[in-house]
């Protein structure tokens, strides 16, 4: 189904992108092959030069990967999508495809931990510099712009504090200066949020999270107009962080259930967030679906629901937070998120542990903070599991 007329997301998620082979298989085929055979020397030459479309070598393209790319592009409302080996590979590919020595990035100060490391410690070695600014203050982004600024990079809601960046406002500021806007849409997925419709130029994904949704494989993607993704493709086919065919096949199947999973997980998260907010041992809850969230109104204008990530601060510090974690028997103690199995993590000592304490404090991630990525279990069972640790806390 390479034509995707006005189908709704549910339909696109199971139908878009499928290319059947001569065998007429109903499910998407997994093409485990590293290279492709040509009919003649002349055809080989044409494929290599790009004069004839078609597969050459799996670092460039593979039919299973192409099906995944087409399906995700359809869901994001993007002209094109380029799949990568992981979410970090997608961010690196986006940056190296579009930036060069001397260029400057303005980025949110509450990005995923590895993204901060990538910008501050790896891209900086190539002479690409980054200024981190308040996630929620568009004026700070504008003030950080320099003549050499080429990219705004944001992630919304942010990890782990679920702060909302105003995609429309930041896109307007950037576009007035011909700056590209890239949004990491990992937390919401295209089911809950469509950044391209709000003005962003590019969307990046860690497909490892909700798109797989069952904690099996790593993957990533960059979606956007072909004139921008083409540069990402050129980088990938040369540098090599391509998505494997097997992982693409798993991710294709993940997309088929994405909508029902994320909607059910978000409904669970909403109930859990309300319960935590009323809990005497909890100091504060961060969830965009709660009216008490400082950006509740903005969240309503850009995402279909609060999503499935809930963070909260216990009354106390690291010791109290670790007590809650260590008393969990059901919730998995793991930094992964987006799984059908609920996970719990202490950001200050795990995902954000390599960031300096000062930078962590500036980002608002304190020692009492816990992040829960809500899965598909019964909310009552999740509550009982958290209550075991919470009930042990003093105060």
Ligand X SMILES: *Cc1c(COP(=O)(O)O)cnc(C)c1O
Q: Which of 31, 60, 68, 112 touches ligand X (CB under 6 A)?
A: 112
Under rule CB under 6 A, residue 186 binds ligand X: yes
Smallest gap from residue 142 Cβ to ligand X (A): 24
Smallest gap from residue 84 Cβ to ligand X (A): 9
Under rule CB under 6 A, residue 92 binds ligand X: no
Under rule CB under 6 A, residue 86 binds ligand X: yes
Of 5-13, 73-81, 82-90, 293-301, which part binds ligand X (CB under 6 A)? Answer: 82-90
Q: Which of 116, 123, 218, 245 touches ligand X (CB under 6 A)?
A: 218
Residue nearest to ligand X (CB): 87
Under rule CB under 6 A, residue 206 binds ligand X: yes
Smallest gap from residue 244 Cβ to ligand X (A): 13
Under rule CB under 6 A, residue 211 binds ligand X: no
Smallest gap from residue 108 Cβ to ligand X (A): 11
| Residues in region 273-302 near ligand X by CB under 6 A | none
Under rule CB under 6 A, residue 159 binds ligand X: yes
Q: Which of 208, 229, 302, 345 touches ligand X (CB under 6 A)?
A: 208
Under rule CB under 6 A, residue 212 binds ligand X: no
Of 57-65, 95-103, 109-117, 311-319, which part binds ligand X (CB under 6 A)? Answer: 109-117
Site for ligand X (CB under 6 A): how many residues?
15
Smallest gap from residue 186 Cβ to ligand X (A): 4
Under rule CB under 6 A, residue 109 binds ligand X: no
Farthest CA pair distance, the chain? 78
Closer residue to ligand X (CB): 108 or 305 = 108
Closest CA to 32 of 229, 250, 216: 250
Query: Given the rule CB under 6 A, which residues bind ligand X?
Result: 86-88, 112, 114-115, 155, 159, 184, 186, 206, 208-209, 218, 220
């Amino acid at each position: 189904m390479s034509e995707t007329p006005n189908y709704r997301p549910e339909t696109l998620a199971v139908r878009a992108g499928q290319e059947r082979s001569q065998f007429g298989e109903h499910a998407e085929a997994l093409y485990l092959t590293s290279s492709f055979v040509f009919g003649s020397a002349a055809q080989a030459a044409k494929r290599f030069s790009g004069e004839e479309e078609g597969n050459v070598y799996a670092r460039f393209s593979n039919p299973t990967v192409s099906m995944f790319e087409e399906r995700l592009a359809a869901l994001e409302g993007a002209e094109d999508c380029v799949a990568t080996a992981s979410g970090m590979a997608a961010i690196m590919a986006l940056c190296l495809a579009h930036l060069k020595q001397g260029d400057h990035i303005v980025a949110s100060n509450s990005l995923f931990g590895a993204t901060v490391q990538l910008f501050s410690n790896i891209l900086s070695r190539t002479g690409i510099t980054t200024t981190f600014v308040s996630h929620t203050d568009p004026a700070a982004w504008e003030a950080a712009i320099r003549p050499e600024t080429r990219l705004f990079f944001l992630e919304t809601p942010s990890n782990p504090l679920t702060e909302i960046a105003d995609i429309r406002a930041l896109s307007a500021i950037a576009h007035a200066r011909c700056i590209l806007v890239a949004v990491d849409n990992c937390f919401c997925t295209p089911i809950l949020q469509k950044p391209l419709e709000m003005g962003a130029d590019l969307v990046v994904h860690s497909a490892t999270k909700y798109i797989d949704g069952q904690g099996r494989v790593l993957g990533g993607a960059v979606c956007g107009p072909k004139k921008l993704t083409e540069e990402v493709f050129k980088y990938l086919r040369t540098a090599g962080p391509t998505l494997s065919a097997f992982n693409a096949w798993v991710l294709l199947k993940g997309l088929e259930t994405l909508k029902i999973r994320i909607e059910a997980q978000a409904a669970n998260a909403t109930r859990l967030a309300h319960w935590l907010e009323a809990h005497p041992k909890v100091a504060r809850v961060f969830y965009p679906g709660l009216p008490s969230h400082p950006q509740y109104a903005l969240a309503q204008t850009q995402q279909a629901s609060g999503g499935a990530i809930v963070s909260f601060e216990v009354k106390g510090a690291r010791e109290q937070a670790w007590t809650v974690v260590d008393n969990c028997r059901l919730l998995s103690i793991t930094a992964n998120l987006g799984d059908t199995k609920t996970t719990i993590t202490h950001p200050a000592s795990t995902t954000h542990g390599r960031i300096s304490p000062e930078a962590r404090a500036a980002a608002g991630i304190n020692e009492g903070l816990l992040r829960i990525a809500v899965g598909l279990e019964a909310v009552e069972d999740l509550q009982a599991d958290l209550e075991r640790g919470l009930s042990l806390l003093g105060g």
